[in-house]
A and B are shown apart, each in its own frame.
Chain A
Amino acid sequence: MNEIRRKAAGSAVWLAALLLVPPTAAPAGQGSRTVIDSLGRTVAVPARAERILSLQPELSRILVALGAGERLVGVDYFLRRFDHVIPLVFPKAFELPLVSRVGEDVNLELVLKLNPDIIFVSPSEAWLADSLQRKVPAPVAAFSSLGRFESLFQEMDLIGNLIGRRDRAAELVHFARAELRAIGNRLVGLDPGGRPRVYLAFYSSLLRTNTSYEPVTASGGLNVAGTILPFALGTKEAAVNIEQILSWDPDLILIQGNFLPAERAVTVESVLGDIRLRSLRAARDRRVAYTFGFWYWWDPAQVLLETRYLARLFYPRLFADFDFEAEGNRLYRAFYGADGVFSSISKTLKCEEWILD
Chain B
Amino acid sequence: MTKRTGFWTLLAVLLPFLILVLSLAIGSYRIPPKELVHTVAGLISPSRHPDLAPAFKDILLHIRLPRLLLALMIGASLSLSGASLQALFKNPLVNEYILGISSGAGFGAALSLVLAGRGFPPQVAAFGFALLAVAAVLAIAGRSESSVVPILLTGVVVAAFFQALLALVVYFASPYALQTLFFWLMGNLALATWRDVVLAGPVMLAGSACLFLLRWRLNVLSMSETEARSLGVHVRREKILVILAATLASAAATSVAGIIGWVGLIGPHLVRMAVGADNRKVIPLAASCGACFLLLADDAARMIMSFEIPVGIFTSILGIPVFVYLLAKTKKVWL
Q: Do A and B come from one complex?
A: yes
Residues of A within 8 A of B (CB): 78, 81-82, 101-103, 203-205, 207-208, 228, 238-244, 246-247, 259-260, 262-265, 267, 275-276, 278-279, 295
Most chain A beta-carbon neighbours within 10 Å: one of B117, B180, B191, B306: B306
Q: Is the CB of A265 within 8 A of B306?
A: no
Stretch at the interface among B55-63, B244-252, B253-261: B55-63
A260 to B302 Cα, complex, angstroms: 33
**3 closest residue pairs by CB, A with B:** A204-B179, A279-B55, A243-B28
A208 to B310 Cα, complex, angstroms: 13
A82 to B179 Cα, complex, angstroms: 15
CB-CB under 8 A from A243, the residues of chain B are 27-29, 59, 63-64
CB-CB under 8 A from B179, the residues of chain A are 203-205, 265
Nearest-neighbor residue (CB-CB) of A208 within chain B:
B183
CB-CB under 8 A from B309, the residues of chain A are 239
A204 to B183 Cα, complex, angstroms: 10
Known contacts A241-B28, A247-B30, A263-B177; 4 further A-B pairs (Cβ under 8 A): A102-B175, A239-B309, A247-B306, A295-B175
Q: Is the CB of B29 within 8 A of A276?
A: no
CB-CB under 8 A from A246, the residues of chain B are 28-29, 55, 59, 63
Instruction: Identify which of A238, A239, A241, A276 contacts B193 (C-beta below 8 A).
Output: A276
Q: Is the CB of A240 within 8 A of B306?
A: yes
Check if B234 is an interface residue, CB within 8 A of chain A: no
Q: Is the CB of A242 within 8 A of B117?
A: no
* CB within 8 Å: A-B pair count: 94
CB-CB under 8 A from A82, the residues of chain B are 174-176
A259 to B178 Cα, complex, angstroms: 13
Check if B143 is an interface residue, CB within 8 A of chain A: no
CB-CB under 8 A from A101, the residues of chain B are 171
Nearest-neighbor residue (CB-CB) of A277 within chain B:
B58
Check if B308 is an interface residue, CB within 8 A of chain A: yes
Check if B190 is an interface residue, CB within 8 A of chain A: yes
Check if B90 is an interface residue, CB within 8 A of chain A: no
Shortest distance between the CB of B178 and any CB in chain A (Å): 9
Check if B118 is an interface residue, CB within 8 A of chain A: yes
A51 to B65 Cα, complex, angstroms: 59
Q: Is the CB of B190 within 8 A of A207?
A: yes
Q: Is the CB of A240 within 8 A of B307?
A: yes
A82-B175, A243-B27, A247-B29 known; A262 and B55 CB under 8 Å? Answer: no
A247-B28, A276-B63 known; A241 and B175 CB under 8 Å? Answer: no
Q: Is the CB of B308 within 8 A of A265?
A: no
Q: Is the CB of B306 within 8 A of A241?
A: yes
A102-B171, A262-B117 known; A239 and B30 CB under 8 Å? Answer: no
